Structure 1
Amino acid sequence: MDSLNLINGSVGSKVPAIGEDSSDVTLNHALLELGDSTKLLGVQVVLILAYCTIIILGVVGNSLVIYVVFKFKTLRTVTNFFIANLAVADLLVNTLCLPFTLAYTLLGEWKFGQVLCFTLPYAQGLAVHVSTVTLNVIALDRHRCIIYHLDTRMTKDTCFLVIAVTWVISAVLASPLAIFREYGIVELSPDDSIEVCTEKWPGSSTDGTIYSISMLLLQYVLPLAVICFAYIRIWSKLRSHVGPAGRNDRHQHRRKTTKMLVMMVVVFAFSWLPFHAFQLATDIDINVLVMKDFRLLYTLFHIVAMCSTFANPLLYGWMNRNYRCAFVAVFRCQERLDPHHAEAKGSTAVRNKNKKALEAQDMVTPHLNATDV
């Protein structure tokens, strides 16, 4: 079962491929119905509340991040454009995928037709790949600048080119989710049939397992290894740095920004870990598919994974004063950010210094260092 098929991965695993012997279909269907807690009203209410909360928080939070990055000039930095790209990917999941995931879980079968059978799993696979690749790009860019003392940051034109390449690479990696798929109707009995949207690999059934494990390595294990390596070196460099007093403020900004970005990676890693572990267990042992409450466990792990789609905006507001001030400015319908509010918690000396710098530049928005987000 493909590790990124979050819309109906359980369909592809639970329901045999179209054309398989009907007795096997009926047997598997009966096994799946045994102890399926997602049919209980109380469980369904909890699942509805959980998914709706994730969708609302994700749509509001990610839309807000995208808006403030392009609304406020001082937030238009390379790192922030990458963060906005993450928000676009998460917003795609929140709006195009999660509502259908919830509906499938409640209905117990695919009810969305042939076109969506091919496009929805692909869209969510694309979004997850974009998030992972972008996290890698951010880590490697900061590694290049901080470890090798490169003061010249990536240009905005290069940044947009990297973002475009990120989407192209992600589209290629996710393409098997749309190509190797089949939609149809399976007759469980003369009076009972269900719509299915399943994987359809050209070779043996092991092809799906090979793809699933490959994606686990390319989309989770390898990227996290690269990111961890980059941030460990960055953090070690920043902790051991002792420079002139004039550079301390800049280094503090770098440390705070790096800390926030590391938290983003930690949230991504731990929210997706249970889901990937469960998927791997499914690929290794087919008996997992007919275990008691398989569907409920799958759904719960999926909910945990989807929490990553709204966590980042909360991290920005908590750990970065510039985003925090931008969010407040939006809710207060302000056209510009208030520099006094942005520096309210800093020392008097820092406030005076920043105020003079702002006045010298004839600006009323808070100053952002090149290393801040």
Structure 2
Amino acid sequence: MDYLSRQHLPRCIPSLLGAGLHGNDLYPGYHASTPVSRTPQRKSHRRPPVSLRRHPLLDLGDLGGPGGLILAYSTIILLGVVGNSLVIYVVYRFKTLRTVTNFFIANLAVADLLVNTLCLPFTLVYTLLGEWKFGQVLCFLLPYAQGLAVHVSTVTLNVIALDRHRCIVYHLETRMRKDVCFGVIAATWVLSALLASPLAIFREYGTFNLAPGQPIQVCTEKWPGSSTDGTVYSISMLLLQYVLPLAIISFAYARIWSKLRSHMSPAGRNDRHRRRRKTTKMLVTVVGVFAVSWLPFHAFQLATDIDSSVLDMRDFRLLYTLFHVVAMCSTFANPLLYGWMNSNYRTAFTTVFRCDQRMDSVHPEGGRGKGGRGKLDLEAQDVVTNHLNATDL
């Protein structure tokens, strides 16, 4: 979605609309419904920024200069691409990890990987240049792909929570069939594609003249009718993409936790019960990181929608960039949490990195490794078996 437009769905590419320039008559107001090839005639609180290197609202020194931005985004991209690719690979590689929950986790990793590859690199370039350099086709495709990926992440977190709620609270021990699981995953992408479709439909690409002889390429949202249409969509997406999903997830995990606590014996119940508790803790932590990472970004966007004077803050771009970086950290946090909180993933990750040693520690087919060793013993509460039920990882 547009970076500085008034849209709440986490957006990754900055819009050329939204940053007010104090006391500078060189940059007239620009309205989203105005054709970008013409100089707008009426004032608006949304104005096109110039390159951050000469933008009065943000001194790059506040962010450590261009080098600081490049380091921050590059670190997130590197960790996200490596971590999420590793999650996808181990779920594909090792048969013992091919459970319903892990398929959903792999789907979440795919969405995060798309954010890392289709979002952050373009955000970084745009932030440094202050101009859309990627052409007309990408103007329509990239915001849509980015909105799609973020929606998939949120919907998948809901699906995981509801599936575990179904299994644990209602004692449905039969695992979801793989064809049903893949059907649910496909449905998450279809639903997300529909929710993100306005980002590709209501868009405009063209040239905006900052001053005579100073044209820049712009890629903006263009909503039909009232200028409030974008705000209505923005608030709707805030509710559908953040508030409502977190409410559903919180309700599901609260009931799961209550159920597990009520069935907890002094001896700690059995291995399956402990696995369920640990898995639930890990997934709750994943949701918590997602919620906390995106909260400042959403709160700042909501404040912008409620009070447009926020756009005139001297540190608007600085705060927005910082909140965006924090939100993007959620894309690489999940693989770290899996490796830290779950022995199955930790063992699988170690096996991949030590590909010439103990490849039989997690068998892709559940058999014996090339070296003839049996499966390595893992922690009792996280042992990998070929009989994991629907609620185990």
Paired AA for residue 157 in structure 1: D
2:17·2:48 contact (CA, 8 Å) conserved in 1?
no
1:15-26 counterparts in 2 under 5 A?
16-17=31-32, 18=36, 19=38, 21=40, 24=43
1:50·1:303 contact (CA, 8 Å) conserved in 2?
yes
Question: What is the TM-score normalised by the length of structure 2?
Answer: 0.85
Paired AA for residue 17 in structure 2: G
Query: Are 1:119 and 2:124 an aligned pair?
Result: no
- The verdict on how the C-alpha distance between 1:56 and 1:266 changes in structure 2, with shifts beyond 3 A counting, is same
Q: Which residue of 1 aligns with 2:16?
A: 11
CA distance in 1, matches of 2:267, 2:45: 74
Q: Which residue of 1 aligns with 2:276?
A: 254
Q: Which residue of 2 aligns with 1:2?
A: 7
Structure 2: where are the runs of 5+ without partners?
Answer: 1-5, 20-29, 363-373
Q: Residue 41 of structure 1: CA displacement?
A: 8.5
| 235-244 vs 283-292, which moves further | 235-244
CA distance in 1, matches of 2:243, 2:164: 20
- Structure 2 residue corresponding to 1:275, chosen from 256, 277, 297: 297
Q: Which residue of 1 aligns with 2:388?
A: 369
- Structure 2 residue corresponding to 1:298, chosen from 304, 320, 330: 320
Paired AA for residue 372 in structure 1: D
Q: Which residue of 2 aligns with 1:204?
A: 226
Q: Which residue of 2 aligns with 1:154?
A: 176
Question: What is the TM-score normalised by the length of structure 1?
Answer: 0.89
Q: Residue 39 of structure 1: CA displacement?
A: 7.2
CA distance in 2, matches of 1:248, 1:29: 61
Q: Give % identity.
A: 71
Residue deviations 1:85-137 (CA, integer Å, cap 9, x gap): 00000001111111000000001121111111111111111001000000000
Query: Are 1:232 and 2:254 an aligned pair?
Result: yes
2:17·2:49 contact (CA, 8 Å) conserved in 1?
no
SS of residue paired to 2:204:
strand
CA distance in 2, matches of 1:154, 1:40: 51
SS of residue paired to 1:47:
helix
- The verdict on how the C-alpha distance between 1:88 and 1:206 changes in structure 2, with shifts beyond 3 A counting, is same
2:10·2:150 contact (CA, 8 Å) conserved in 1?
no
Paired AA for residue 95 in structure 1: T
Q: Give me the CA root mean square deviation.
A: 2.6
Paired AA for residue 309 in structure 2: N
CA distance in 2, matches of 1:40, 1:238: 48
CA distance in 1, matches of 2:39, 2:200: 21
Q: Which residue of 2 aligns with 1:61?
A: 83
Query: Are 1:96 and 2:101 an aligned pair?
Result: no
Q: Which residue of 1 aligns with 2:334?
A: 312
CA distance in 2, matches of 1:220, 1:5: 10
Q: Which residue of 2 aligns with 1:49?
A: 71
SS of residue paired to 2:270:
helix
Higher helix share: 1
CA distance in 2, matches of 1:231, 1:221: 16
Q: Residue 30 of structure 1: CA displacement?
A: 7.5
- The verdict on how the C-alpha distance between 1:242 and 1:7 changes in structure 2, with shifts beyond 3 A counting, is closer
Paired AA for residue 228 in structure 1: S
Residue deviations 1:175-202 (CA, integer Å, cap 9, x gap): 0011101011111211212211111001
SS of residue paired to 1:316:
helix
Q: Residue 40 of structure 1: CA displacement?
A: 7.0
Q: Which residue of 2 aligns with 1:105?
A: 127
CA distance in 1, matches of 2:42, 2:60: 24
Paired AA for residue 167 in structure 2: C
| 225-234 vs 285-294, which moves further | 285-294
Q: Which residue of 2 aligns with 1:289?
A: 311
Query: Are 1:80 and 2:85 an aligned pair?
Result: no
- The verdict on how the C-alpha distance between 1:108 and 1:151 changes in structure 2, with shifts beyond 3 A counting, is same
Q: Residue 247 of structure 1: CA displacement?
A: 5.9
1:224·1:269 contact (CA, 8 Å) conserved in 2?
yes
2:79·2:332 contact (CA, 8 Å) conserved in 1?
yes
SS of residue paired to 2:17:
helix
